[in-house]
Amino acid sequence: GDSVTQMEGPVTLSEEAFLTINCTYTATGYPSLFWYVQYPGEGLQLLLKATKADDKGSNKGFEATYRKETTSFHLEKGSVQVSDSAVYFCALTATDSWGKLQFGAGTQVVVTP
Of 57, 102, 109, 111, the residue at the interface with other proteins (CB under 8 A) is 102
* CB nearer other proteins, residue 34 or residue 62: 34
* 105 contributes a contact to other proteins by CB under 8 A: yes
Give the CA count within 13 Å in the CB-facing half-sphere of 76: 10
Site size toward other proteins (CB under 8 A) is 22
Question: Who's near 61: CB < 8 A, 6+ residues apart?
Answer: 77, 78, 79
The span from the CA of 42 to the CA of 48, in Å, is 17
List contacts with other proteins (CB under 8 A). 4, 32, 34, 36, 41-46, 49, 89, 93, 98-106
